Chains A and B, each alone.
Chain A
Amino acid sequence: MLTPHVVTATLARLATEAEPPGLLPAREQMALSLGWHIVLACFGVAFPAMIFVMHLRGIRRNDAVALGLAKRWAKVSAVLFAIGAVSGTVLSFEMGLLWPGLMGTYGDVLGLPFAFEGLAFFLEAIFLGIYLYGWGRMPAKRHVLMVLPMAITGIIGAYCVLAVNAWMNVPTGFRLVEGQVTDVEPWKVLFNRHAFLQFAHMWVGAYMLTGFSVAGVYAVGMLRGRRDAHHRLGFLVPFVFASVAAVTQPFVGHVLGFGLDERQPAKLAAFELAETTESPSPLRLGGILVDGEVKGSIDIPYLGSLIAMNSPDKPVPGLDTIPEEDHPPVNMTHLAFQTMVGIGTLLAAAVVLFWFQRRRGRDLLERRWFLRFVAAAGPLAVIALEAGWIATEVGRQPWIVYDVLRTTDAVGDYTASLWWLLGISTVVYTAMTIGAVVVLRSMARRWRAGDADLPSPYAPEVAAAPEVEA
Chain B
Amino acid sequence: MPIKRKPNLSATIALLPTWFVAVVVFIGTMGWSIRLSFTNSTLFPSSTYVGFAQYSKLFSSAKWLASLQNVLIFGVLYVAGCLLLGFLLAAALDRKIRFESAFRTIFLYPYAMSFVVTGLIWQWMLNPTLGIQASVGSLGWESFVLDWVVNRDMAIYALVLAGVWQGAGLVMVIALAGMRGIEAEQWKAARIDGIPVWRIYVSIVLPQLGPALAAAGMLLAMGVIKTYDIVVAMTNGGPGNATEVPAKFIMDNLFGRQNLGLATAGATVLVLGVIIAVAPFRYAMHMRDRAKGPA
- Whether A and B are associated in the same complex: the answer reads no
Residues of B within 8 A of A (CB): none
